[in-house]
Amino acid sequence: MQAPLSLPSKILLTGGTSGIGAAMTDRLLAAGHHVITLARHATRLSPRPGLEMIDIDLSDSAEVRRVAAEIAARHADLSVLINNAGLQYPAALTEPDFDSAAMEAEVAVNLLAPALLVHGLLDRLRANAPGSAVVNIGSGLACFPKRRTALYCATKAGLHSFSQSLRYQLGAERVAVIEAILPLVDTPMTRGRGRGKITPDEAAAAIIAAIRTGRPEIWIGKARLLPVMSRLVPAIPRRLLRGS
């Protein structure tokens, strides 16, 4: 086990304009890291020392490949990729007005974009190992899906599987692959839904602490209960989430 996040690290973070991503950006900059943030409206952020902002639609795979190549060419010292951006559309596929374009964007942002960024930046991460990492922000919904967010839950399950497979593919290479598995966090995505949420700053602090440990998987907050429940009483969380 290694501690891949060390000063001074240059970090690429997707979805850094709000919620967990904004909180992580604040904490990483305060700790002296250089942060490149990719988001649809990244340049709306206030300029700060150490912060580079790139506007991008992460659902556009051609654009993701182009920006990844540009970053790889300009930032030879990039050492950490944090795939944080996510989309969630709370609608059932059985509803007549279900938006198929939104469905495509959800899969592209949540699953395809992280894979394309890893592919485009892996040579840089390899060159800066040890001390480099791919960090994927997962969800407990990968294990226990909700009724109304079937595709979102499926993408998080896919990201969980992708993280494991990438770890196998890298084998003895000293690029850490870390998945931070979150409970419900109080973000714009979850507004009006659920109780007992943790704050974005609490989530950000836990994720950054997890990166520093180098552990391959870290279950944060109430999500820590899910592996135990999945083994002992799997029917309870399934029953709770089936109607949500």
The average pLDDT across 10-34 equals: 94
Number of residues assigned to the chain? 244
Query: Tens of pLDDT along 127-182?
Result: 998 889 999 999 888 777 777 788 899 999 999 999 999 999 998 888 999 999 88
Question: What burial class does residue 243 get, using C-beta atoms within 10 Å of its C-beta: 0-12 exposed, 13-18 middle, 19+ buried?
Answer: exposed
Query: Tens of pLDDT along 195-208?
Result: 557 788 998 998 99
Encode burial over 9-27: b for 16+ CB neighbours within 10 A, e otherwise. bbbbbbbbbebbbbbbbbb
Q: What is the pLDDT of residue 235?
A: 55
Query: Distance between CA atoms of 54 and 43, rounded to whole angstroms?
Result: 6
CA atoms within 13 A on the CB side of 114: 30
User: Which residues are paired to 137 by β-bridges?
Assistant: 180
Query: Distance between CA atoms of 124 and 107, rounded to whole angstroms?
Result: 26
- Contact 15/85 with Cβ under 8 angstroms? yes
**DSSP assignment letter at 204:** H
User: 10-242 — its CATH code?
Assistant: 3.40.50.720
Q: What is the pLDDT of residue 97?
A: 76
Note the pTM of the prediction, 2 decimals: 0.87
Q: What is the pLDDT of residue 147?
A: 74
Share above pLDDT 70 across residues of the chain, in percent, rounded to a whole number: 81
